[in-house]
């Protein structure tokens, strides 16, 4: 794996109740669309973004600054897609 296969981005959790089941399910669903591994780090802990259990244990509160990291062939795409969830406040767009 080359250095270009790693992508990181700092994101802020703007969901009023912190990282709870609704945003977690959106993160897991979106991350599962990519082949790369994706982690989210907060307060010295790291979680696999494809694992509901791991994300629940992260216990990130409202306003938390988290580090999103992806490793693999589609790392840039995964980080962009997941960062958009954070930027949009995990609101589901109406179609």
Token pair of 67, please?
A: 């580090």
Residues 63, 67, 72, 74, CA torsion sign: positive
20 is catalytic: yes
C-alpha to C-alpha distance for 64 and 45, rounded to whole angstroms: 13
Residue in 20, 37, 52, 77 annotated catalytic:
20
Q: Return the closest-CA partner of residue 82 out of 44, 42, 36.
A: 36
CB contact at 8 A, 86 and 11: yes
**Catalytic residue set:** 20
């Amino acid at each position: 794996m080359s250095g270009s296969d790693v992508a990181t981005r700092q994101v802020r959790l703007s969901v009023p109740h912190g990282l709870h089941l609704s945003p977690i399910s959106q993160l897991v669903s979106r991350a599962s669309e990519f082949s790369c591994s994706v982690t989210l780090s907060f307060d010295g802990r790291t979680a696999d973004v494809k694992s509901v259990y791991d994300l629940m244990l992260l216990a990130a509160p409202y306003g938390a600054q988290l580090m999103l990291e992806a490793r693999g062939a589609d790392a840039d795409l995964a980080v962009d897609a997941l960062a958009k969830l954070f930027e949009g406040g995990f609101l589901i767009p109406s179609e």
